[in-house]
Amino acid sequence: MSFTSLTGFAGGSVGSGFMGALQKAYWRGVPFSVTGEVTRKGRKVAVHEYPFRDGGWAEDMGRQMRVFSFTGYLTGDIAPIMQMLLDSAAEAPGPGLLLHPTIGMQRVMLLSCSTAVRKEAMRVIECQFEFIEAGEPNFIMSLVATAIQVVSAATSGLTSFGGSIGSGAGPAATAGSAVIGEGVAVTRAFGTVCTMAAMDPGGLVSLATGINVPDPDRSLGRYQFGNVSVMTPCDLDVNGNPDVAQTVADMTATVAAARATLVQAVAASTVAAAVFSAASGAAMVTALAAVTEAVRATMVDPADQVRVFTGLAAWSYADSVANAGLTGLPAYMATMRDSMAATARRVALTSLAQAAASYRPVSYEDALSVREAVSGAIETEMVAAGDAGDDDAYAALRLLRLAVWQDLTTRGATLPQVVTVTLPAPMPALTVAQRLYRDASRSDEVTAAANVPHPAFLPTTMQVLAQ
């Protein structure tokens, strides 16, 4: 067997074998001749070095994105036209397809491209390219996509719930004012519960997590440790940067405005119940959704939202009248009562799901705990809808539960687990954070995890993040 057949290097003609194949590449379908190709590859390594310690730690962060560098040329009378085509390909947005015999077909992003014309090289245009593999948006974009799925499922659920109450309680509404009055009573009771939920003490305590400190070298310590995913917006300067920090007064005013909105939403839902008919199911659901979303707006921390709405999702209207054996007007009133209460719970579940999508779990176990709580609340209502023969509501709740499950599972998979550590004696949080993570700035996180009144005295046994 010859050397040429083993290696692919041509022994004679330059235009055949490996060297011949090396000479041609295509970027977005535009060909150019190649004189050299360099691929940069390897591992991502974070080097950690510590003062007064010999050596260090080289942390493997995964494979690097490959970078492909090409030098080549365009030649002939049509070289200026080919350059124009390459310019268009280089300036087109998004990733493109790079084809080359030695690296195969790659989906890449162009980092840089340059062309040069030299007097001594007539009819030849030199070109240089640097590409980086585009990869797939399977990390950040997948997290965003799962949250969007939850919002989409919640919106679709509201539409289904409107159809369900229209077909379920609509015929009963024609029986007269007594039946309509029952619906108004249920709606008013739900509004009262929502108003009380908006005054939850935990939500007030969590206001501190939304306060922006103007000095970057200062913080509120463990009192600022929360689960806020979207801060209440503050004033911005001409460059779009925070200009005036949020104060307690600012946050209190924001919550007060949200509570005023809630009062208006509760009143509007009562009016919607007073004029309810088979054709106004969607309007009734929209009014109830305005109430639950107004409650959610009074809390800056999604953790409080999840906790409060888990309770609202289990709400039921207290009525001493039993359904069994009812006929005529009492049966219509029971139908209205049950349908309106079920719709209120289902609307609360859509707000609960959206709160879970905003929630930022701190660990794998935290994500699983919230997933089980929210999914369990939705499943309870699913069973009730199935027992009542409400197939549309059952299907909508099933899709909502699936979206929540996928969202928290996807986000939880990227988070560290919780481990139990044992200390020889009570220590300050700064010392513990330095020992565990080699990062004293995480002392507030350690204090919050230990749930102690003072960061100078941590317990000897506690649960913290593994990394």
Q: Is 347 left (phi over 0), alpha (psi -120 to 50) or beta?
A: alpha
pLDDT for the residue numbered 416:
75
Q: Which residues pair with 242 in a beta bridge?
A: 236
Place of tokens 């054996």: 325
CA distance 37 to 22: 8
The Cα angle at residue 56 between residues 53 and 58, in degrees rounded to 5: 170
pLDDT for the residue numbered 143:
56
What CA dihedral angle connects 236, 237, 240 and 241, to 10 degrees?
A: -80
**Residue 394, H or E segment:** helix 391-412
> Mean pLDDT per 10-residue run, the chain (467 residues)?
39 46 76 88 88 84 87 85 86 84 82 88 87 68 69 88 86 86 91 88 64 51 46 38 53 78 91 89 90 86 87 81 62 88 92 88 84 92 90 92 88 76 80 76 76 77 72
Task: Yes or no: say if 115 and 127 are a contact pair by the CB < 8 Å rule.
Answer: yes
* Helices first, then strands: H and E counts in the chain: 14, 12
pLDDT for the residue numbered 443:
77
pLDDT for the residue numbered 205:
64
**Residue 331, H or E segment:** helix 328-358
CA distance 44 to 407: 28
pLDDT for the residue numbered 231:
31
Record the tokens describing residue 6, joined without a space: 């083993």
Strand pairing class (461-465; 235-236): unpaired
> Whole-angstrom distance between the N-terminal and C-terminal Cα of the chain?
56
Closest CA to 72 of 15, 119, 29, 34: 34
SS3 390: coil
Q: Which residues pair with 39 in a beta bridge?
A: 68
Q: How far is CA 278 from CA 7, 327, 364, in A?
A: 79, 20, 45
Record the tokens describing residue 379, joined without a space: 């499943």
pLDDT for the residue numbered 52:
82
Place of tokens 């007073």: 274
SS3 417: coil
DSSP code for 247: -
Closest CA to 397 of 449, 327, 343: 343
Q: At what angle do helices 328-358 and 364-387 cross, to 10 degrees?
A: 160
pLDDT for the residue numbered 348:
92
The residue length of the chain stands at 467
Closest CA to 338 of 353, 352, 354, 324: 324
Record the tokens describing residue 200, joined without a space: 């939850």
Record the tokens describing residue 169, joined without a space: 């309680």
Q: List, as one string, the DSSP characters of 266-320.
A: HHHHHHHHHT--GGGHHHHHHHHHHHHHHHHHT-S-HHHHHHHHHHHTT-----S
CA distance 188 to 182: 10
Q: List, as one string, the DSSP characters of 95-162.
A: -EEEEETTTEEEEEEEEEEEEEE-TTSTTEEEEEEEEEE-----SHHHHHHHHHHHHHHHHHHHHHHH
CA distance 294 to 361: 23
